[in-house]
Amino acid sequence: MARMLNDAAPRKRLRDLGVTIGRMPTGTHNAITDVAGVRVGHATIVSGDGPLHVGEGPVRTGVTVILPHEGDIGVEPLFAGSHVLNGNGEMTGLLWIKESGMLTSPIAITNTHSVGVVRDALIAYEAQRLRRPELFWSLPVVAETYDGWLNDINGMHVKTEHVWAALDAAADGPVAEGCVGGGTGMICHEFKGGIGTSSRVVSGADGGSTVGVLVQANYGARHLLRIDGVPVGELIPCSQVPGFREERARIAQREPGDGSIIIVVATDAPLLPHQCERLAQRATIGLARVGGIGANSSGDIFLAFATGNRGLPGAEDAAAEIATCRMIANDRMTPLFEACAEATEEAILNALCMATTTAGIDGRTMHALPLDWVREVCAT
C-alpha cells in the first residue's frame, strides 16, 4: 500500500522510536563524548539554492572535529590504531599512526575536496591559537567523504575560519547529528545521511570501560539497508521515497557507485596501539549489520584511540626515556569488540534518523528516512 511521505515530521534518534540495538547499555548521552574528555564540534555551511555556479553554490557542507581529550593532544598524545575496509578515500596522518602507534592531533572530518585546507587549518590553530609558535612538526588527521551530489564541492567553501570555529565550539555532552558539520551534504543508503554517534558501557565484571563511536555516513544502496535486522531498505522502494542512484546513473551515463564512511572509535580502556587497531576493525561488524559491504567505490576508513594511558610523552618531550603504560589482557578484549560493533551500528542509524530532507545543487533532493515507517516495522 502506498503511504504518504511526511518530510516535515520531527526527527528523533533511533531509541526514541522504540528501537534498541544490541544488549549493552549506553553511556549518559549515547555519544562518543561519553568517553571522558572527548569533545565534538561542528561548523555547518549552508547557502544558496538552484543551479550550480562553481564558487558560489549552492553550498551544503562543513567540518566536524573530535578533540580526543581536554588537554593538548599535540603535547600529550594517545595510543591509536586504524583499519581500512576499502580504500577509495582519504584519512591523512595514518602512516605515522601506523608507525608510531600515536595520535598527535585532533580528528577532523569534511568533504573530499577540502581535506587540504582543513589539514592546514589544524596546523595553524595549533601554532597560533594554542600559542605554540615553536611548533616544528605536525601531521594532522583529516578524513573525508564526498558530498558533490548536493554541494558545490569544487567551490572550496570550507575555510580556515570554519575549522577554527568547530574547534572552539567543541564540547562534551550531547552531540548534534544528521545534517551538521562534515555530514551536511552526505547521503546514506539513498536517504539523507550525515553525522551520527552512539556509545556502550562494558559491564563492571568486564572492566567497566566505555566505547564511543562517531560516524560520517555517506555510503550504501537502498536495498541493503537493515535496521536491527529488518530489511527496511527493501520495504521502502524508490517509488515511495525517491532515491538517487538511477538519476545519478542517467546523468553520468555509467553505473552509480557508492560513497564512503568514516568511523572514529574512542575508549577509556587502557589499550596499546595494536589493540586499538583490533578495536577499529570491529567497526566493520556494525557497518555490515546496517548494510555496508565495502563497495569498490567506497572509502571505509576507521580510527580508534584509547585514553586509558594518559601521560604518554610527546614528540617535544626530550627528557622522556621510558614510558610506563597499561594494557587490557587480549583475552578480555571481546566485550570491547561487542561494544564497538553495537555502537557503530547505532551511530549509523542515528545519522539516518536525525538527518533532514535536503535540497542541493540543481534542485537535487535527498529525502530523509521516514521515521514512521521505521517505528512501524522495527519498534518492539
Catalytic residues: 260, 298, 300
Cα–Cα distance for residue pair 137/116, rounded to 1 Å: 16
Cα–Cα distance for residue pair 301/284, rounded to 1 Å: 10
Question: C-alpha cell of 84?
Answer: 581500512
Q: How many CB atoms lie within 10 A of CB 368?
A: 24
The runs of H, that is alpha helices, within 190-272 are 232-235, 245-252
Distances (CA, A) of 270 to 195, 210, 300, 325, 333: 27, 11, 26, 8, 11
Distances (CA, A) of 224 to 111, 188, 266, 310, 323: 24, 11, 27, 40, 46
Residue 173: which of 5, 364, 41 has the closest Cα?
Answer: 41
Residue 193: which of 56, 282, 117, 287 has the closest Cα?
Answer: 287
**With 0-12 CB in 10 A as exposed, 13-18 as middle and 19+ as buried, what is 181?**
buried
Residue 16: which of 318, 350, 339 has the closest Cα?
Answer: 350
Cα–Cα distance for residue pair 249/116, rounded to 1 Å: 29
Torsion angle of the four alpha carbons 11, 16, 22, 25, in this order, in degrees rounded to the nearest 10: 120
Residue 144: which of 107, 104, 170 has the closest Cα?
Answer: 107
